[in-house]
Amino acid sequence: MQHVPGVDRGRVMLYALSTCGWCARTKELLTDLGVGFSYVYVDLLAGEERDHVVREVERWNPQVSFPTVVINETKVIVGFREDEIREAVGA
C-alpha cells in the first residue's frame, strides 16, 4: 500500500488496477484535490496478500470492480465518478 500525503479528509482508500485508465484518473483526481489518501494496485499483489485485499474490496463492493474508493470505512464510490468523489472528500 502506498500513501500520498495531503490534507486530512478522513481515511481515503483507493483500490485500483495498475493497468486501468479509470483508476489512473481517480488517482490523479485525488492527487489534484490535494487530499491525503492511500492506494493499492490489486493486480500487482500475489498469493495470500492478494486474496486478503480482494476480500477487503468485496466487503465494500461485492462485484470487486475497480476503482473502488472507500472513505472513512463508510462511504463507497465505485468507478470514476468525479462529482461524487469531490463531494465525499469535501473538495
| Binding site residues, another protein, CB under 8 A | 17-24, 42-43, 54, 62-66, 78-81
Determine contact, residues 39/5, Cβ cutoff 8 Å. Answer: no
Q: How far is the CB of 22 from another protein (least distance, A)?
A: 6
What is the closest distance, in whole angstroms, from the C-beta atom of residue 5 to another protein in the complex?
21
**Residue closer to another protein (CB basis): 10 or 76:** 76
Closest CB to another protein among 38 and 65?
Answer: 65
The distance from CA 38 to its chain's CA centroid, rounded to whole angstroms, is 7
CB burial of residue 57 (10 Å; 0-12, 13-18, 19+): buried
Please identify, using beta-carbon distances, which residue of 22 and 36 lies nearer to another protein.
22
SS3 label, residue 40? strand
